[in-house]
Structure 1
């Protein structure tokens, strides 16, 4: 590449980056309301796990879901003042039906993934997560527990655990799931009557003693949910 072409490329790329960042952080948050979406309001109780989520505009929800998130984060904060509710993928800012790949249903502003709550080697609860993406380190079923992963893959659903390839760094993989705190988080979510469904793997539902009818199995056509919580509103 000649020096002139290189300079031209750098100039055009720089302009693209400037326009993209301006749109992402200044323009889109102000026009998303016309499509029934709002950018999630991060604060000391509620936070995106990864800046990429915000950079790629994957942090939009309906105002009703924003209200649920605010309610959940307040309830969790009262019980665990040092913890934040950490969200992963939500929805794009525009157009119902536009897929948020690789998710099957994050397309109407009413769905969101939350991270489990973990503890460090000293047993202290932490806001850190095992992977940079928030996905891919699974809470495997024990020998006496039902393994939907095994059954789904035996039935030809090869994609069921493919998120293990999308951890994007798992330097904190030694963190352990806090079943108690994660159960509390799920219970706080389900306290809101506007919540219609919540997905986690069946073996974790059983292990945590969760009985709410809104806790469902998401189906073998999706990906496994023993690395995060998915919930949605009516």
Structure 2
């Protein structure tokens, strides 16, 4: 039973963080079978090794695999520390530079407003899946949040969920509903991010059409960007018409809670 539990934890930690599984295995091997308070010692060793690896070792090794940690500034930040702790904040250097440029331009247009990122990529190995995403596996992709506004119409850096995912800007009456189309075709997972919010917050804010449109246009202006995914009804509502804007397909998940962008 213990071996099964350890195996499950190794798999889960690998899926969520890429490096957590191997670090947990190393932690197990460092504990003597006769050790007193084994579980407590295992937890302590794992946490210590994991933090050392995440903040000191991985950032220095990842460039050997063509990726680097997102360089955060006062204009470019992760939505949550969880993305950093889980090593889901690595990109190719070219994307890092592009994100910094978009963040600077966004701040120029909207003083004090930050570019907030969600899942990017793991630090190592192309084709290693970053679940639940289908394509975040080569350092070229990243998700960023929409922009929101206060009841008085002023842009805010607040978001609508703890994770940054799962709170949708749903189709209005008369708008095309891609979610219904995909689910009617049997793609049940298309609506799955609603279970990944980790809790909804800031009920007083609302989706900013002007702010999000400006952000999308700033992204599209970058020559390094090859594709951008956003839900079809938002593309229409925001009057976006650019060949880089693509439909992600029903095998993915809906994109009316975030923007996906990727390098050429």
Smaller-chain TM-score bracket = over 0.9
Displacement of 1:5: 7.0
1:13 is displaced (CA, Å) by 1.1
Bigger share in helix: 2
C-alpha RMSD of the superposition: 1.2
Question: 2:182 matched to which residue of 1?
Answer: 152
- Provide Cα deviations, 1:154-204, integer angstroms capped at 9, x if missing partner: 000001111101100102244200010100000001111111000000110
C-alpha distance 158-74 of structure 1, shift in aligned 2 (>3 A):
same
Q: How many residues align?
A: 231
- 1:224 paired with 2:254, answer yes
* 2:142 partner SS: strand
What's 1:45 paired with? 75
Show structure 2 runs of 5+ residues with no match: 1-33
Aligned to 1:94: 124
Q: 1:128 to 1:6 in 2, by over 3 A?
A: farther
Equivalent of 1:198 in 204, 225, 228: 228
Task: Judge which range, 167-176 or 190-199, deviates more.
Answer: 167-176
Does 1:179 pair with 2:209?
yes
C-alpha contact 2:159 2:201 (8 A) present in aligned 1: no
The alignment partner of 1:137 has SS state of coil
Match of 1:10 in 2: 40
Q: Does residue 58 of structure 1 match 2:88?
A: yes
Is 1:32–1:38's contact at 8 Å kept on the other side of the alignment?
yes
Moved more, 99-108 or 163-172: 163-172
- Indicate the residue corresponding to 1:30 in structure 2: 60
Matched, 1:211 2:241: yes
C-alpha distance in 2 between matches for 1:186 and 1:6:
56
Change (3 A) 1:30 1:135: same
What does residue 117 of structure 1 align with?
147
2:194 aligned with 1:164, yes or no? yes
Q: Give the drift of 1:11.
A: 1.3
Q: Which runs of 5+ in 1 are unaligned?
A: none
CA shift for structure 1 position 23: 0.2
Q: CA deviation at 1:105?
A: 0.2
SS of aligned partner of 1:161: helix
TM-score of the pair, normalised by structure 1? 0.96
Question: Matched residue of 2:37: which SS?
Answer: helix
What is the TM-score when the length of structure 2 is the normalising length?
A: 0.85
- Tell me, in whole angstroms, the C-alpha distance in 2 between the residues paired with 1:202 and 1:115: 17
By how many angstroms is 1:6 displaced?
6.7
| Higher radius of gyration, 1 or 2 | 2
**Superimposed CA distance per residue, residues 21-51 of structure 1 (whole angstroms, 9 cap, x where no aligned partner):** 0000000000100000000011100000011
